[in-house]
């Protein structure tokens, strides 16, 4: 691994990404189904949820714009897609299904955006980018599940839209640890700042 890191450094990957105000928070797919290891959960997702609870409280205290995402398919499956060809069980996530609902500990409040999506990224085909821009967001803190899937794709899109993604490594989780760690490494090298929640909040306190 040390040889790999030296290769990345030599090729100028992994440069520092400095935060800029204003700050927003995106919580990706922390819904009941991803909290349940019998459905779509497992791994370190429960810990990510627990670490996100005080993060959300802090964001609300600071008055930061907060957005949540959840996967929601039509009741008649009319919007099924290639994603559901790969993961057919996702079609069970409907508007009123328990597994598609955001976990109670992170339930959205009035004024917080809830993005419904049928693909991994919270940005693709949604109004999230426009909403964040309307609120002036420059730096976007990202929590959620899963690190290797919906979190990663949302981070890449956030970067492509010009936001500065800060992935909070203890507030994101995956059903398996190896892809979680590999994707944190890769995002830190190419797309985002990656750090623990408290480290990020300390850094933002100086803005």
DSSP secondary structure string for all residues of 118-181: SSS-SSTTSSHHHHHHHTT--EEEEEEE-IIIIIHHHHHHHHHTT-EEEEEEEEEE-SSHHHHH
Residue 46 makes CB contacts below 8 A (sequence gap 6+) with 35, 173
Rounded to whole angstroms, how far apart are CA atoms 169 and 33?
21
**Which tokens in the block code for residue 203?**
């850094």
The verdict on whether 150 is a catalytic residue reads yes
Given 140, 150, 167, 172, the catalytic residue? 150
Catalytic annotation, residues: 150
């Amino acid at each position: 691994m040390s040889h790999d890191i030296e290769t990345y450094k030599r090729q100028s990957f992994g440069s520092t990404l400095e935060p800029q105000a204003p700050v927003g928070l995106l919580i990706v797919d922390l819904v009941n189904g991803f909290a349940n290891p019998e459905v779509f959960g497992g791994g370190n997702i429960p810990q990510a949820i627990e670490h996100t609870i005080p993060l959300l409280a802090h964001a609300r205290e600071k008055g930061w714009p907060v957005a949540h995402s959840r996967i929601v398919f039509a009741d008649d499956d009319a919007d099924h897609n290639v994603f559901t060809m790969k993961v057919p069980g996702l079609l069970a996530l409907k508007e009123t299904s328990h597994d598609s609902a955001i976990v109670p500990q992170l339930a959205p409040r009035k004024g917080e955006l809830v993005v419904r999506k049928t693909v991994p990224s919270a940005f693709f085909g949604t109004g999230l980018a426009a909403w964040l821009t309307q609120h002036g967001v420059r730096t976007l803190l990202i929590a959620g599940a899963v690190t290797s899937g919906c979190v990663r794709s949302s981070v890449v899109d956030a970067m492509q839209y010009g936001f500065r993604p800060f992935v909070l490594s203890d507030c994101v989780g995956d059903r398996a640890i190896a892809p979680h760690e590999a994707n944190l490494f890769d995002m830190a090298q190419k797309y985002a700042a990656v750090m623990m929640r408290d480290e990020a909040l300390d850094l933002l306190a100086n803005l």
